[in-house]
Chains A and B, each alone.
Chain A
Amino acid sequence: MPSVAVDIRHLSFRYDEEYVLEDITAQIYDREYIAIIGPNGGGKSTLLKLILGLLRPTKGEILIYGQPPEKKRTIIGYLPQNINFNLDIPLTAKTIILQGRLSRNKLFYDPQDYEALESVAHKLKISHLLHTKISHLSGGERQKVLLARALVTEPKLLVLDEPTASVDLGAQKEIYAILKELDMTKIVVSHDINIILEGVDRVFYINRKLFIHDNIELKITPREGHFCEMELFEELKRSCDA
C-alpha cells in the first residue's frame, strides 16, 4: 500500500455564509495522478488552495505527507492559474523559473540553482526561451515556463491549477504528455474535462461535495476524442453514487 500524500478529513470551507466545500474526505496516494474536474464555482480551486495551505479549512483538516500544508510547502510545486500575472514587468523566463528556488532565508541564487534551471529547461525543451521576456511568449510557452518554475523546486507533490487554460490544442497535448511522464504525486484541476483521457489514475468530480471515480473506464465513450461535459458529469455522478 503506497503512503498517503494528501489526507483530506471531513473538510468543509465557506466564504462568508455559503459553503463552497462540504464534508469532503479523500486520500491521495504517493505518486498518484489525480484530475479534479467540475463546474465553475464548484470548489475546485478552493480545494487546491486548501491543499496548498493558502486557505484554512472552516472544519476538518488536510495533511500533506502527515503534516499541515504550511509545514510541507517546500515539497510542493505549484502552477497557478495563468490569469492574474502582471505581464508588464520586464522579466525573462529564466528569472521567473529561478523564483522556484527561493526560500524564506535564501536571498541569492547559487550554482546549484542555475544547474537545476538548466536541467528543467532542457527537460521541458524551453532552453531557447530562457532569455525571452515573459510578455513575448505565447500562452503555451508561458505555461511551460510556469511548469518549469514549479518543477525546479524538485517537488514531491505537484499541484496544477488549469495548466492548459488559454493555450492552443498542440500545447495542451504537449503539456499533458509532459505531466504523464513526471514521476511524482500530481493533482491537476482542469476545466478541460478531457484531461481524464490523459492517463490520470482517478478523477475527483467536485461540485460542493466530492465524488471520487476510481475507474476511468466510464460507460460513455468520447466522441472524436472528446467528452460531452454534461454527459460526463452525469455519468460520473451516477457511477460514484452507485
Chain B
Amino acid sequence: MLEALSFFSNSLIASALLSVAVAIIGSLMLVNRYNYLAAAIAHGSYGGIGLAIYFGLPILLGATLFALILALVLAYITLKESRHDILISLLWAVGMSVGIIFVDLTPGYHTDLLAYLFGDILMVPSTDLIYMGAVDLLLVLFITLFYHHLLAIAYDREFAILRGVRVGFLHTTTLLMVALTIVMSIRSIGLILVIALFSVPPYIAEKFTSSFRSMMMLSGIIALGLFVLGLWIAYLFDISASASIILCAGALFLITYHKGRR
C-alpha cells in the first residue's frame, strides 16, 4: 500500500491541485456557459504544442503562450462579433491543424504526443506541480477579489454593465484563467479529456447547493474523489489513469443526472 502511495505521490498532489482548478474555473465555466469556449481553447492549444516541438521550446511554455493568445482572440470575438460560434469552431480547428502541421514538419518521431492529447497523471513531473500550484494561487486570488462581480455577470450581464462592473475585462480575464487551467491539465488529463473533467463535478455540485461558494467547494471535493477513485481503479486493473478518471466522472454524471433537478 505504501509502495503504491509513493508511486502515486505526484499524481495525488496533481489531483489535489487540479481539484482546486476544477472547483473555481469549472464552476465559472458552467455558470457562464463557457464550456464550448474552453473546449476551443483546449483543442486549439495543440497548436502551441506543435510549435514548441518544432522550435525546440519547453512544451509548457509553447502551450501557455498559444493558449493565452487563443483566449484573448476568443474574448474579443465573443465580445464584438455576433456570429462568434463559427469563428470559435474555426479557431478550434485551425489551432489543432497548426499543431499537426508543425509536428509533421519536425524531424523524428514524437511518441509523447498522445500524452498531451489524453494525458497521463501517473507521469506528471515535479516541475508541472509548481506550475499547477502557481496557477491555483492565481485562481484563488482572482475568485476572491472578483467573486461578487463574476456572479453578477453570470446571472445578468446587462445589469452588471449598468452597475459599472467591468464585464469585458472580467470576461477576458476569466478566459485567460481558463487557458492557464487547461495548460496545467495537459500532462495529467490531456487536451481531449480535460473538458469532461472540468464540466462534470460543477454540473453535479450545482444541483445540490444553494450558493456559488458551496458549489465550488462541492465541485472540488467531487473532482478529488473522482481522481482518487479513477487512480485506484487504474491501479487495480492496470488501465489508463486519465481515461479511468473520466469514465468515473461519466458514471457519476449518469447516476446523478435525474437527482436534485430544480
A residues contacting B by CB (< 8 A) are 52, 54, 73-74, 76, 78, 80, 84-92, 95-96, 98-100, 102-105, 107-109, 131, 133, 135-136, 149, 153
Contacts and interface: CB of A to CB of B under 8 A. Distances in A.
Majority secondary structure of chain B interface residues (helix, strand, loop or mixed): helix
B163 A100 contact: yes
Contacts of B214: 90
Nearest to B144: A107
A104 B146 contact: no
B160 A95 contact: no
5 contacts: A73-B162, A85-B155, A86-B31, A102-B165, A104-B166
Nearest to A133: B210
B262 A136 contact: yes
Nearest to B211: A90
B57 interface: no
A52 B211 CA distance: 30
Nearest to B262: A135
Given A80-B158, A102-B152, A90 B212 contact: yes
B211 A102 contact: no
Given A99-B159, A107-B148, A90 B164 contact: no
B60 interface: no
* Size class of the B contact interface (CB-based, 8 Å): 20 to 34
B209 interface: yes
A54 B158 CA distance: 8
B206 A102 contact: no
A95 B105 CA distance: 54
Given A102-B149, A102-B163, 4 more contacts: A92-B210, A95-B212, A99-B163, A100-B163
A54 B149 contact: no
Nearest to B205: A90
Contacts of A76: 162
Given A78-B162, A102-B163, A135-B262, A86 B155 contact: yes
A133 B214 CA distance: 13
Contact of A103 (B31, B164, B209, B262): B164
Given A87-B262, A90-B212, A91-B212, A52 B152 contact: no
Given A96-B155, A107-B148, A135-B262, A91 B164 contact: no
Nearest to B165: A102
B161 interface: yes
Contacts of A153: 163
Given A80-B156, A85-B156, A135-B262, A90 B209 contact: yes
Nearest to B154: A89
Contact of B152 (A99, A105, A108): A99
Contacts of A96: 155
Contacts of A131: 210
B145 A107 contact: yes
A84 B157 CA distance: 10
A152 to B, nearest CB: 11
Contacts of A108: 148
A69 to B, nearest CB: 9
A89 B210 contact: no
Nearest to A107: B145
B215 interface: yes
B84 interface: no
Contacts of A86: 31, 33, 154-155
A32 to B, nearest CB: 21
B144 to A, nearest CB: 9
B210 A99 contact: no
Contacts of B162: 52, 54, 73, 76, 78
